[in-house]
Amino acid sequence: MAIPVLPPSAPFTTQQRAYLNGFLAGVCGLDGIASNHQTNGAAISGVPTAMDDASLNRVGSDSGGNDLIAAPAASAAALNGVAASQSEPAPDESAPWHDAALGIAERMELAQDRPLPQKMMAAMAQLDCGQCGYLCKTYAQAIADGDEKSLRKCVPGGKETANQLKALVASA
């Protein structure tokens, strides 16, 4: 018996709700909801369970006539925990300041003898949040290369980061 995670009043079609219920059950490890790895998260009949890696498959349409597309099998396998067994990448030893728990003064001290792009990276908030459109490392590299002119894009770092970047650009 399937235990629904999303209520019937959720703003999704029956197929979307069934897919999301299966996905959430798999992520949360709930028993009884599409827990069989062969279903690839498809908890409704008529949805193909074996998908071709090379293409997306049309699996039906919603009440508005929009096509519903199934994810490639590789993505479905990853959603079902196949990729979860892989370990997290090791912390970057070349960037010891890449730790959001460190204050900006500590990060700048760790990067004091490094090239300008690495000092700029140390000035960032270290969250790799993407709010600026970059990761911390790529935003710092873009500023150092002159590809990015704005020094105020690091939202989590705020004024402190912007001021530090301004000082680094002035000293370069």
Model confidence over 34-90: pLDDT tens digits?
A: 444 444 444 444 544 444 444 444 555 555 555 555 444 444 444 444 443 344 444
| Percent of the chain residues past pLDDT 90, beyond the cut | 35
Buried b (16+ CB within 10 A) or exposed e, 112-131: eeeebbbbbbbbbbbeeeee
Residues 159 and 109 in one domain: yes
Q: What is the pLDDT of residue 19?
A: 83
Residues 67 and 112 in one domain: no
Q: What is the pLDDT of residue 158?
A: 92
Query: Does pLDDT of 33 surpass 50?
Result: no
**Comparing 39 with 153, which gets the higher pLDDT?**
153
Amino acid identity at 98: H
Domain that residue 61 falls in: 14-85
Overall number of domains in the chain:
2
The answer to whether residue 91 sits within a structural domain is no
Pair 97, 117: CB distance under 8 Å: no
Average pLDDT of the residues in 145-151: 94
Residues 80 and 120 in one domain: no
The answer to whether residue 90 sits within a structural domain is no
Pair 100, 126: CB distance under 8 Å: yes
Q: What is the DSSP letter of 125?
A: -
The answer to whether residue 115 sits within a structural domain is yes
Query: Does pLDDT of 16 surpass 90?
Result: no
**Comparing 29 with 40, which gets the higher pLDDT?**
29
**Comparing 11 with 111, which gets the higher pLDDT?**
111
Choose one of 34, 52, 85: the last residue of a domain.
85
What's the chain's average pLDDT? 73
The answer to whether residue 54 sits within a structural domain is yes
**Positive or negative: CA dihedral 132, 138, 142, 143:** positive
pTM of the model: 0.48
The answer to whether residue 92 sits within a structural domain is no
Residues 81 and 114 in one domain: no
The answer to whether residue 77 sits within a structural domain is yes
Choose one of 57, 85, 113: the last residue of a domain.
85
Query: Does pLDDT of 126 surpass 80?
Result: yes
